[in-house]
Chains A and B, each alone.
Chain A
Amino acid sequence: MRHVISVLLQNEVGALTRMTGLFSSRGYNIDSLNVAPTDDPGVSRVTVVVSGSDAAIAQLNTQLAKLVDVLNIHDMTLGEHFERELVIVKLKINADGLTTITALAADFGADILDDSLDSFTIQLIGRIAEVDAFVDTASGIGKLQAVARGGSVAVSKGEVTLSSYAKHHRLTG
């Protein structure tokens, strides 16, 4: 199963390396990774998408929680959440393609950043399935020059303050 894990990470030298290194040393592939500062400049929010059985990911989360720089972990997939991704696609199109791509952009609610035929550039923010479908369709319209995806970002739905790590790894049971 695909898991979207949010990690709050202290901004320390090598913290991100230690975190991502844990995935490879424990045999997991990262499907997508997004890192950016939070409202606290000393803390980054890392969103990792990783695939594995629920039990394997639960174990991975407990290992992540042993990293000293990790402040908190939340496996979004265990509850309702919003997950979005940004993508920028650049295409080389001809005059025929222009109508199709403009219609596609309108259909997906994407923004056209550059409308020159040699480097037609569109930006979309959406659900992962939408982003996948958009990239797939757009690449059939012209000659694909670049696809830049930002990686998943996610927040849980409603008022969730308790970290799922603590909820799912009870100290007594």
Chain B
Amino acid sequence: MTGAEIIVQVLADEKVETIFGYSGGAILPTFDAVFRFNDQHRRADGKSPIPLIVPANEQGAGFMAAGYARASGQVGVAMVTSGPGATNMVTPVRDSMADSVPMVVICGQVPTHAIGTDAFQEAPVAAIMGAVSKHVFLVTDAGRLEATLRTAFELARTGRPGPVVVDIPKDVQNYEGTFAGHGQLPLTGYRHRLQAVVENKLTDEACERFFTMLAESERPLIYAGGGVINANATRDMRHLASDYGIPVTTTLMALGASDTTHPLSLHMLGMHGTAFANYAVEDCDFLIAIGARFDDRVAGDPARFAPNAKNIAHFDVDVSEVSKVKSVNWHHVGVLKRDLADLLAFGKRIRFNKQFSKWHEHIAELKHKHAMNYDRDSELIQPYAVIEEINRLAGGEAIITTGVGQHQMWAAQYFDFKGPRLWLTSGSMGTMGFGLPAAIGAQFAQPSRLVIDIDGDGSMRMNIGELETATTYGLPVKVVVLNNYGDGMVRQWQKLYYKGRMSGSDKSLHRKDFVKAAQADGFEFATKLDRKENLPQTIKAFIEFDGPAFLEIIIDPDAGVYPMVGPGLSYDQMITGDWIESRVAPSDDQPGTSEMF
């Protein structure tokens, strides 16, 4: 077998069903091997076993693979050429690292003898990707290609998941060798540490300490993060919540871990969390962090985060997250699904029983009194109303992807999510342009599910080339552009912190015609909505359209994202805007100038 054939065979063995890739000189042998593999293994229905999906830009391929991985829980695979192909992939790789998304990226590289000569389309991929990925391999020994590639998949999906880059020189792809069909690299240190985590079961003593804290608590709160979804531990976390009546708030990454329509679900916490979730964090006396990392959008001021919590417990798979930001009284690093099951079994054994009915009443009151709200009588189309209308039709069952900015936060706040892997957003990196390619990747992972990209006009511009990818592959993705003629979140900060100087964020004089752009890329349904009275019927027609559909909605350009906890500030300094009731006088506190990120 050639190196290229070995690569494709390992992909097949790893049950890869889709490759997102863009060709080029240094990856040609492997693209050719994919073609031949698909030709030789064509399925009965004529389809390719490993279809190759070609984006407009390599960044698109990366976010498609990431969207695929996020929606399915499987390792996403992207394949690009050397030099610019690989450097265009840097953003999705860093994005996936920051959000712990399992991905294997295969990069062609110039032949071994040409490495370091400033060859055509050469880039130092191992050096660049090493800084942004979970791991990078430069395969210089063709005899180790097979084991390296198999190991890349193992690395991507084990422990805290992440992207792994395999840089493969063209001569290694062309090498002739035998395919062993098994074997991995030793990775002694990694495996040793992983094994320690896997073998670290919850002891009875640890369970007892946990339940003592719960027994001493009157107001316990679960703060669930993306780790719950990555660990496929949604059901177990919900059991912990429902068996003991513990309310749940989730991070941006964990939306859907808790069914947002459940009475004890508080939706999202943090900088733009719901007021009731943030008040619950202020009021709780026992905080149970599960697969969450106290990041700066959640705990802007760590010392004043959950100020009344007498105890904080933390479950994680990554020991480096324990007490990184906020010190905790109890922690456990292990396999979350198993550990939560063991904790519940212990609770049953000791017949743990405690009623938190007063706390539940308090939660219900918070949810009622400080509910999300906006100017419902405005003549302009309010973005919140758009999300509410789409949500009515989607019913918490659709996959929602987003770009980054105000529209992302509105979607996070106003959509319901009944399950995990429905909400795909660039959380930590905050990459504009994520939404459309992620939706395409998600639609490949979940062909029968409704997939909606909620985008902003700024984010849509970033990867607008991928509109064509959606129609090329006949994907029924629904693309919404909430157009407020500019970078809304930037403008919001400029209004709050820069005396309203809209430096570089106003696009009201831009001449972009989004509908024409969508039509040019083959969208048969492409409409602009600018009249409030047409909202329900337009959205209904859009969602029900059988095929790719594009909807531009002209929204109130002054609509803001509320509540808001300023950067570096604590929850008691939260501002709730004009339409959500605040329980303290609005704060005039300004964040420190260096906190403004």
Contacts and interface: CB of A to CB of B under 8 A. Distances in A.
B178 interface: no
A171 interface: yes
A68 B163 CA distance: 13
Contact of B333 (A10, A17, A66, A172): A172
Most buried by A among B131, B203, B330, B334: B131
Contacts of A12: 137
B331 A17 contact: no
Interface in A97-129: none
Contact of A171 (B138, B187, B319): B319
Given A65-B320, A71-B189, A166-B196, A171 B126 contact: no
Contacts of A13: 126, 137-138, 140
B222 interface: no
Interface in A139-173: 166, 169, 171-173
Interface residues of B, number: 34
A70 interface: yes
Given A71-B188, A171-B332, A14 B130 contact: yes
A171 B188 contact: no
Nearest to A43: B188
A54 B136 CA distance: 30
A169 to B, nearest CB: 5
Contacts of B190: 68
A29 interface: no
Contacts of B572: none
A137 interface: no
Given A70-B189, A166-B196, A172 B202 contact: yes
A98 B332 CA distance: 64
B189 A171 contact: no
Contact of A66 (B206, B318, B334): B318
B357 interface: no
Nearest to B331: A173
A68 B319 contact: no
A21 B202 CA distance: 35
Interface in A18-60: 18, 21, 25, 59
Nearest to A15: B130
Nearest to B203: A172
Interface in B292-344: 318-320, 322, 324, 330-334
B559 to A, nearest CB: 37
A172 B131 contact: no
Interface string B194-209: 0011001011001000
B193 interface: yes
B127 A171 contact: no
B449 to A, nearest CB: 34
A111 to B, nearest CB: 38
Interface string B133-149: 01111101000000000
A112 B393 CA distance: 85
Contacts of A17: 126-127, 130
Given A13-B126, A18-B130, A172 B319 contact: no
A62 interface: yes
A72 interface: yes
A172 B189 CA distance: 20
B71 interface: no
B320 A14 contact: no
A70 B200 CA distance: 21
Contact of B320 (A63, A69, A72): A63
B155 interface: yes
A62 B320 contact: yes
Contacts of A21: 130-131
A59 B324 contact: yes
Contact of A14 (B126, B134, B202): B126
17 contacts: A10-B188, A13-B137, A17-B126, A18-B130, A18-B131, A66-B318, A68-B135, A68-B155, A69-B189, A169-B319, A171-B200, A171-B334, A172-B206, A172-B332, A172-B333, A172-B334, A173-B330
Interface of B: 126-127, 130-131, 134-138, 140, 155, 160, 187-190, 192-193, 196-197, 200, 202-203, 206, 318-320, 322, 324, 330-334
